[in-house]
Amino acid sequence: RKQAASQRREALAGLSLPVAIGGMLGDQAQEGVSANSPYLLNISDDISLEGRLLYFLPEGTPIVVGSDAGNRIRLIGLGIPSKLCELHVAPG
């Protein structure tokens, strides 16, 4: 069971997904993220891919999006720069 939880955390981290969202994924909440946090949800022409990626946006910490491995949200694909944009969530 512990090994499965560890593998799940590694897989989520590899996808730039938060490992813990207010207990929703079975761990402690991450700073600035709760069940009421804003999020990004993917849109796709392929119904089997629609809504499969969910990125919660924490308050107070800039969220860098791009292809760099250190970004909070990592996008991999042709033509995606290392820093595509930076998102800021206003309190409240």
Write the pLDDT tens digit of every residue in 2-57: 787 777 767 666 555 554 443 444 444 566 677 777 888 888 888 887 877 777 88
Backbone angles phi, psi at 44, to 5 degrees: -145, 150
- Residue 8 in tokens: 């799940």
d(C-alpha 72, C-alpha 86), whole Å: 10
Neighbours of 18 (CB within 10 A): 23
Cα–Cα distance between 83 and 34 in angstroms, integer? 26
Question: What's the pLDDT at 12?
Answer: 62
Is the pTM value of this prediction over 0.85?
no
